[in-house]
Amino acid sequence: MRAGDRAYVTLREEITNGDLPAGTVLGEVEQATRLGVSRTPVREAIRRLIGEGLAVRRERGVEVTEVSLDNIRELYDVRVALECQAARLAARNRDPEVFETLEAAFDDVSGLLDDRDGLRRDYYALVARFDDAIDDAVDNPYLVAAMRTVRTHLARIRHMARSDRSRLLDAAREHALIVHAIIEGNGELAAHATHVHLYNSLSHRLAKAVSLEGHTADAVSPDEGDARETA
Amino acid sequence: MRAGDRAYVTLREEITNGDLPAGTVLGEVEQATRLGVSRTPVREAIRRLIGEGLAVRRERGVEVTEVSLDNIRELYDVRVALECQAARLAARNRDPEVFETLEAAFDDVSGLLDDRDGLRRDYYALVARFDDAIDDAVDNPYLVAAMRTVRTHLARIRHMARSDRSRLLDAAREHALIVHAIIEGNGELAAHATHVHLYNSLSHRLAKAVSLEGHTADAVSPDEGDARETA
DNA sequence: TGCGCCTTCAGTGTATACACAAACGTCGTC
DNA sequence: GACGACGTTTGTGTATACACTGAAGGCGCA
């Protein structure tokens, strides 16, 4: 792997993790020293981060962007548009077998969910498979790229609103319906079920985020590092 | 302006113009020599182009991506999702005055359209104002960024399907309806009118592109260099 | 003591040197 | 004559040197 790619992956990971919080200035020399490479690959990595919107040029150097509650709403406005369309297209092109497997898994999910993080991780892995199946079925590189960008940004606010068990069970039912509609080839139902799912997801997150603001916002456990963000 | 930005703007312009056709290999040294800068800024520019999907890494170096008829359909699938949502949001947040001015302009457009390219450019400038007004009203950086990406790609296939006078008149009526719905604050109508407009736009383009394929595909006059692509 | 100018420094922008990998051509051998 | 191996060439990856800009701090003068 090239040093430039490593620097990019590392920095992006640290930003989404929160290790590099919003407002952190990304000096080329500083990051180059820290990552053990020269300025050139770091420079490339930072430029890519700026291109994705994870960092911005400021008067003095570049710094990690903020993510506010308003940003969450904005991201969901884009997400609804993209993922409803994706569901619609997936219903048109889908391979039924893939989604039948997924449907069975979502129906069985109550047996999977436990308060122990290992099992929760299994659920997130299932959602990741769901996302991949959609990406694969839509077969549209532009749409997939746009969705990936939104997912990257949403991953940053994961720690602000961690889903609880009851929300995950609801989310599983919502996913099951989306998958069912896709199997039936019912694009409109798939799109609308996606809309419903994302509305509920956003409502849950906003409630969590607001209730956390102020007292324990920074004390939320930031585990589940690589879990995909779709509950 | 920095050399890196200049290199990026120049290369992107040349790619969308068709001066650098699909498949052209973008060698760092070659482009650096041609643009009169060193490899470093050229390198940055090429990386940005790759990030946007205008270029791809190949076995040997990087080259300008292809745009096929299938790509046009894929782009419109994304465009419909994004711009319908944008119209909906614009109807919610709009400043009525801005759109009333636009509505008047679209109603008067038949007086503007002439076969002479200068007047046609005026029409494209009006559409650009429309796009800017939407971008401004939605007030969502993520959505605007996604739409800009799609527009950049669509600009590349402009020469494949140039709109004729009657299509432009129809497009003006379609735009007028979208604007009207936005003024009324009718988000659903704005979204659906956008859907109709984009459907007609795509149909027109595909018909043109198919009819051009084979005989005069490369002979289409590539003027109207900086016209925004929305008819 | 305060204000303004100058010097210095930190950091980015650009150029270039060096390293390394892959491909092509040529030469030698079978 | 053909095939294989080695050298050369071309191009990217990385590091670093140099230039320029903007800022901050210190010093001098009022």
In this predicted model, what pLDDT tens digit does every residue of B33-67 receive, in sequence order?
Answer: 999 999 999 999 999 999 999 999 987 789 999 99
Tokens representing B143? 């959505």
Phi, psi of A53 (to 5 degrees): 90, 10
pLDDT of residue B220: 41
Chain B residue whose CA is closest to A78: B143
Residue B166's pLDDT band (cuts 50, 70, 90): confident
Decide if B206 contacts B72 (C-beta within 8 A).
yes
**Percent of chain B's residues with pLDDT above 70:** 87
Q: Is the CB of B26 under 7 A from strand D?
A: yes
Q: Are A142 and B74 within 8 A, CB to CB?
A: yes
Q: How confident is the model at residue B225 (pLDDT cuts 50, 70, 90)?
A: very low
- Tell me the two tokens of residue A117: 């993080």
C-alpha–C-alpha distance, residues A85 and A153, integer Å: 19
Distance from CA of A19 to the nearest CA of B (A): 23
In this predicted structure, what is the pLDDT of residue A221? Answer: 41
The mean per-residue pLDDT over the stretch B134-155 comes to: 96
pLDDT tens-digit readout, A83-124: 999 999 999 999 999 999 999 999 988 777 666 666 778 888
**Predicted local confidence at residue B89, as pLDDT:** 98
Q: How far apart, in whole angstroms, are the C-alpha atoms of residue B174 and residue B191?
A: 12
Q: Do residues A127 and A230 lie in contact, with contact meaning Cβ atoms separated by under 8 Å?
A: yes
- Is the sign of the CA dihedral A205, A211, A214, A220 positive or negative? negative
CA distance B53 to A103: 34
Partner residue opposite B140 with nearest CB, options A77, A84, A145: A77
- pLDDT averaged over every residue in chain B: 88
Do residue A44 and residue B48 have CB atoms under 8 angstroms apart? no
A141-CA/D6-C1' distance, Å: 44
- Output the distance from B6 CA to D26 C1' rounded to whole Å: 39
How many CB pairs below 8 A link A and B? 77
Q: Is the CB of B47 under 7 A from strand D?
A: no
CA of A58 to C1' of D23 (A): 14
- Say how many Å lie between the first and final Cα of chain B, rounded: 32
CA atoms of A46 and A62, how far apart (whole Å) = 8
Sort out which chain B residues have CB atoms less than 8 A from A52's CB and list them. 51
Instruction: Check whether B221 has a pLDDT greater than 50.
Output: no
Amino acid type, A120: R
Residue-level pLDDT at B115: 63
* Residue B142 sits at the chain A interface (C-beta within 8 Å): yes
> Which of B44, B84, B146 is the closest to A78 by Cβ?
B146
Question: What string of pLDDT tens digits covers the 231 residues of chain A?
Answer: 889 999 999 999 999 989 999 999 999 999 999 999 999 999 999 999 999 999 999 877 899 999 988 999 999 999 999 999 999 999 999 999 999 999 999 998 877 766 666 677 888 899 999 999 999 999 999 999 999 999 999 999 877 677 788 888 899 999 999 999 999 999 999 999 999 999 999 999 998 877 766 554 444 443 343 445 556
Q: Which nucleotide is nearest to A38 (CA to C1')?
A: D15
Query: Which 8-state DSSP code applies to residue B25?
Result: B
Q: What per-residue confidence (pLDDT) applies to B217?
A: 43
CA-nearest residue to B87 within chain A is A81
Domains of chain A as residue ranges with CATH: 3-64 (1.10.10.10), 69-219 (1.20.120.530)
Residue in chain A nearest B54 by alpha carbon = A142
| Contact call for residues B101 and B180 (beta carbons, < 8 A) | no
Using an 8 Å CB-CB cutoff, list chain B residues near A84: 81
Rg over alpha carbons for chain A, rounded to the nearest Å, is 19
Nearest to B47 among A47, A78, A153 (CB): A47
Q: Which range, A14-18, A161-165, B185-189, B205-209, is most confident?
A: B185-189
CB proximity list for A143: less than 8 A, separation 6 or greater? A82, A85, A86, A89, B74, B77, B78, B81
